[in-house]
Structure 1
Amino acid sequence: MTAEHASTQQSDRLIAEDVLLALFQPSSGTIAGENTLFYVLGGAVLTDLAQQGRVEIRDAGLRGTLISATGERPEDELLQPAWDYVASKPRGVQSVLAASGPTLRGPLLDRLVERGDLDRAEKKMLGLIPTTALSEGSSGHRAELIAAMRAVLVDGAAPTERVAAVIALVFASGGLPVLDHEIPWSSATATRAKALEQADWAADAAAAAVTRTMTAVVTNALVATLVVANR
């Protein structure tokens, strides 16, 4: 499966969906980095909005980088709260992550289950305590996504806009080494991922260039936020 195929298949998928799916661990049924996941998903939603031309970045001097709304309100209900937040007035990136991220995990997970990317079963721990078990679904999309990421990070394939953004966000979250059994973790892999995190990837089209710039702004904010959160 090529990176291009994975990025274009079911193009209605959000980047945020793929980030959550990539962080899902089939071997344990858990999601990597749960404690700070909402920051990462908030960043992914900002990247989605940038890709759609719904937000723009503005240098506010001493106030730093601000995000403001542009264009029409997005149709996707998962993108609307973040867009509404910056539509009221320009906001700092970290403010947007903190405001929009906490409500995203559940709806995004529901969407992955609906698409067949993940399966969810209700069980009882020790026969008494209700619990939810997640497993990889039958759609095959996660395998395709991981293969596309591996092709870029290990085989040196040129990344598409979408795959580059997913890799950058997963790397910034600290979750990429957890995928070692699927994407071999090495200094070369880390170097390639770091380059993508810093927006060092081709973006000839105007829309792709906007996504690349937003990805760099978001991942820088993520790294700073997660360092503080993990202290």
Structure 2
Amino acid sequence: MADVPYPPAPWHLFGRAILVPALVRPPLAARGPRLLRAPGRRSLGGLLLADYDPRSTLAYHELLGVGGLVWSGTTPAAWITHACVDDGTSVAGGRGIWGISKHHGDFAWARTAAGERITVSLAGREMVAVRTGHRPGAVSVPVVAPFAGADGGRPAWASGWLRGAPVTVDVHVAPDSALAELAPRFAAVAVAGDVALRISAPRAARRG
């Protein structure tokens, strides 16, 4: 994907998103960046599923797997260990700008009477399936979140908002999926709604 041109940062992304928190077992912990651990030697992570619409820098679907919180220099950051999109330009930009090893996959995203159903497949094999259900209420979540790619050393920032509602959620991760290495313990409630994000260019991590 090195020869695929892509827009420079910042990227502006608008659409729909579902944020599913989880306690995860960070992968390759001995060789990865410094981890912020919860009890049980786990870390706070989870999944972000998004459907970015034509108002965005690029229109595509995305699945991000957060393998834990890490110290990126002196900044706590979400460690993006897994990423799948359905757009080749996004694959190239994710790798070239943010050091995130995105893979090209297939998404099926449908509204149902009960909520939403999303499946993500890679090379024809299902990685993850997510079902949400409606719950009353509304929430507006401001987003000011640092994140880092696989090396944990070049933090960037996602800023904006997620406006939606808490929803019940059921997540199935295929046992042979790369996401299975996180052994995620998903929360029973996610946040789903409209999202608007500005994704900055990475900057050199400040060392403590």
TM-score (norm 1): 0.25
Q: More helix per residue: 1 or 2?
A: 1
Tell me which structure has the larger Cα radius of gyration: 1
Whichever structure has more strand as a proportion of its residues is 2
Q: What TM-score do you get using the length of structure 2 for normalisation? A: 0.26
